Amino acid sequence: MYGHRRQPSIELLEFIGVVKENGNDQTLLPPVHTPLSYDYVLVAKTSENQEREIVKKQNEYIEELKKKNIRVTKIIDDELIFYGIQAPKEIFEKYRYLLKVSDACNWSADQNAVPLKGLRDLMKAKVFEAKFCLHEVKVLNKFNNNCVCVCAHVRNYFGEKVALYYLWLGCYTFLLIPPALVGMILFLYGLAFFNSSPLIKEVCEADTVMCPLCDIKCKVWKLSDTCTYAKVNLLFDNDGTVFFAMFMAVWATLFLEFWKRHRASYVCEWKVSDWCEEEEELILQIVNNTNCEPKKYKHSYLRSTVVLILFFVFSQILVIIGLTHALVVFRVIAAVLLAEGKWEFLSNNNLMGAMMLGAVFHYLIITVMTRVHSSLNVHICVHLETRSFAATEKSFTVKMFTFQFFTYFSSLFYVAFFLGRINGHPGGYVRIAGKWRLEECHPSGCLTDLFIQMAIIMVLKQTINNVFEFTGPWLKRRRTQRLQRKCAHCYLKDDFEVKDGAEMCDNCKLRDWLSNYRLNDVDSFSLFKEFLEMVIQFSFTTIFVAAFPLAPLLALINNVIEIRLDAIKMVTLERRLVPKKTNDIGVWIDVLEAIGVLAVIANGLVIGVSSDFIPRLVYRYHYGPCANGTVTDIDCMAGYINNTLSIARIDDQNLHNEFTANQMKTPGGLNVSYCSYKDYRSNEDYSLTPQFWLILAVRFAFVILFEHVVVVFKFIAAWFVPSAPMHVKNDRLFDKLARLKEELR
């Protein structure tokens, strides 16, 4: 066997104190399987608090376990009955032997696979109150005393599924360092030209009078009043934005390729490279019942069509359209209410206030809709009648992520591609219910609106999620009563090596089981929630990143904290997850691939459609002072802001119904005869100018060119980085050769 090579992401996890490897010794430690513990514990209410039928089902299930030579220990505590379940060694030996003769796992076995057929149905029927694996005190003490999780111990204690989650999160966090640095450099680049840009100078020194931004209360205002807003916009909408968008699209591909290499190294070391879910399922069925029949594959086009229509039409499209409309209406009404308020500061910055309130309102809707849709998806997956739990989990993952993605990004799509483009013009404003005007973009561009929306949602999501994820279980644990200490006899047993068959007394067993019972519950979807949170974050760091270059930096800071909090939560605040074998992160890799492709499309559209990159480019080479190539003493972008503005005159009959006389007075009390607004329209009949159509054509041409160039770079990056290191391929080659030679003996 070749020596295992240390991965950079593991070094990062070591640095922040989550993972630790055993120096140069790469030998996997055997799983801790102490006779003082039980494989599984079931909890039910006492017969006085249960119906007779439920008690009957409890007894029938326990008797079935005993018939399979599974040891069951019953302990009653007030209103609860605990059933400690311990499978005989013969079950594990049979399981390991079947894996050995199978090609599924390269002779690797899971010591914690205890078949409990039909238990999920009994849990739904409230026959049992809870089910959980017991935490092993000795292992937890090692984790707590060392303040680290040994890499091999994570796999042996929680199984490959949890271990791969931490490996993926470590790899993702480590590879966030380059985009975080590049994003920071881009931000500093915009900061360096903060005061020297001719665009900023033109806005800050302009005497241009702009049209009112809302009805009745809003008055004409000077463009120079928004000098600060223009400066902020330049921080994120500058010439470096195109480079950063291309960089992030290629980075997303490289991240996935490096993760595949990273994963291949560990699954080869763990001997699960050829693990097969179907074969594992059959082995568990045989262990449970030698006369079992496999569950056949089924597919119904009618059922799939109905679910597809229900999910995408009613659950997705209608909800998303409704949510977007609700957000638009909320922002428009909020802007009017703030403008009519008594506070001058809010009245003068009503659009900014409405935007920020809209982002907070959107986050609250996300929180509520996530809970609603989670329950809906469970029911949909049940009606699909999937063949196995893995298929149910995959179906649930795809549906839940799709909903979460569109719920999070619905407002961002509106701000990026519709805000300020469908609001009309003076004399012809688009209104909701014929009453409220739609919002406009700032003359400097709409990208700042997108940045503020992303920043608020991302920061709220990361901070609030971490606070509730950790403090909720912690407070619950603090409220539980203290349990009595172990008796001296069992305390000594726990501290020294004991022979098989050694038992704790019933009081100490009860103490151990109660302490695990009072921890926060976990289920098969607990790890799904952790993955979902991180994949949504990955979407924020890749999609629309052109508008928010600091997103990778925020994600990096969050993940350094997240890894540590997840480790503490799993070890000390939650019940032990049932260890599960796997060799990849499942359908999440396909989701990440889809996000990478969508990131190319979205960032191309953000630069081409949302930002002012293309209008500035067209002005520089076609309409500006350098268009003819002869002017050398004037900045090529001089006059750009004024070029993007159109004029509305008060003597136009269409404006009499649009603005009141009071609205056309400046704060100084002067009446104005015309005002400006951002658009490429004729000053006579408000028709779109040839410059608008030229810019539109160049926008679409840029989007097509950008996406094709980036896709080519993505394919080159994917081809250039092999999906598995050569030493891993060689390890597997020599391992297969050794197995074949052994079979010949």
Question: pLDDT category, 559, cuts 50, 70, 90?
Answer: very high
CA distances from residue 571 to 319, 332, 474, 562, 676 in whole angstroms, order as listed = 38, 47, 12, 14, 62
* More confident call, 195 vs 12: 195
Q: What is the dihedral of CA 695, 698, 699, 705, to 10 degrees?
A: -170
3-state SS assignment for residue 43: strand
In tens, the pLDDT along 462-479 reads: 888 777 777 766 666 655
Q: What distance in Å separates the CA atoms of residue 42 and residue 54, rounded to the nearest whole number?
A: 14
Percent share of the chain, pLDDT over 70: 81
Rg (CA), the chain: 31
Buried b (16+ CB within 10 A) or exposed e, 480-491: eeeeeebeeebe
Angle at 653 between CA 651 and CA 654, to 5 degrees: 120
Domains and CATH numbers, the chain: 36-102+116-132 (3.30.70), 153-298+385-484+511-613 (no CATH)
Q: Using 50, 70 and 90 to split pLDDT, how confident is the model at 107?
A: very low
In this structure, how many other beta carbons lie within 10 angstroms of the beta carbon of residue 222?
Answer: 15
User: Beta partners for 425?
Assistant: 428
pLDDT score at 388:
72
Hey, which residues does 432 pair with through a beta bridge? 436
| Residue 524 scores a pLDDT above 80 | no
Question: E strands of 650-721, at which residues?
Answer: 674-678
Token pair 């949504």 is found at 536
Instruction: Give the type of residue at 420.
Output: G
pLDDT grade for 133, boundaries at 50, 70 and 90: confident
Per-position DSSP letters for 162-211, written without gaps between them: HHHHHHHHHHHHHHTHHHHHHHHHHHHHHHHTTTT-HHHHHHHT--PEEP
CB 136, CB 575: distance < 8 Å: no
Q: Determine how many CB atoms are found less than 10 A away from the CB of residue 17.
A: 14
pLDDT digits (tens, 9 = 90+) for 476-516: 665 554 555 555 555 545 544 444 445 667 777 888 888 88
Beta strand spans in 345-387 (E): none
Task: Write the pLDDT tens digit of every residue in 177-194.
Answer: 999 999 999 888 888 877
Torsion from C-alpha of 244, 246, 247, 251, nearest 10 degrees: 140
Q: Is the pLDDT of residue 652 over 60?
A: yes
Tokens of 721: 């980085």
Q: Is the dihedral of CA 434, 223, 695, 193 positive or negative?
A: negative
Looking at residues 671-699, what average pLDDT do you find? 90
Q: In the predicted model, is pLDDT for residue 692 greater than 80?
A: yes
For the beta carbon of residue 107, count every other beta carbon within 10 angstroms.
14
pLDDT tens per residue, range 21-72: 443 333 333 333 344 457 788 998 887 666 778 888 888 888 888 887 888 8
The amino acid that residue 268 corresponds to is C
Please report the pLDDT score of residue 474 as a whole number.
66
Residue 198: pLDDT above 60?
A: yes
Q: What is the bridge-based pairing of β-strands 19-20 and 149-150?
A: parallel
Statement: residue 394 has pLDDT above 70: yes
> Token pair for residue 324?
């977007």
Task: Dump pLDDT digits (tens) for 141-165.
Answer: 666 655 444 567 788 888 888 999 9
Distant-in-sequence, close-in-space partners of 343: CB < 8 Å, separation ≥ 6: none
> DSSP per residue over 385-435, as a string?
T-SSHHHHHHHHHHHHHHHHHHHHHHHHHHHHHTTTTSSEETTEE-EETTT
Task: Say if residue 139's pLDDT is above 60.
Answer: yes
Q: Which of 98-102, 130-134, 597-601, 620-624 has the lowest mean pLDDT?
A: 98-102
Residues in the chain: 745
pLDDT at 148: 46
- pLDDT band (50, 70, 90) for residue 618: very high
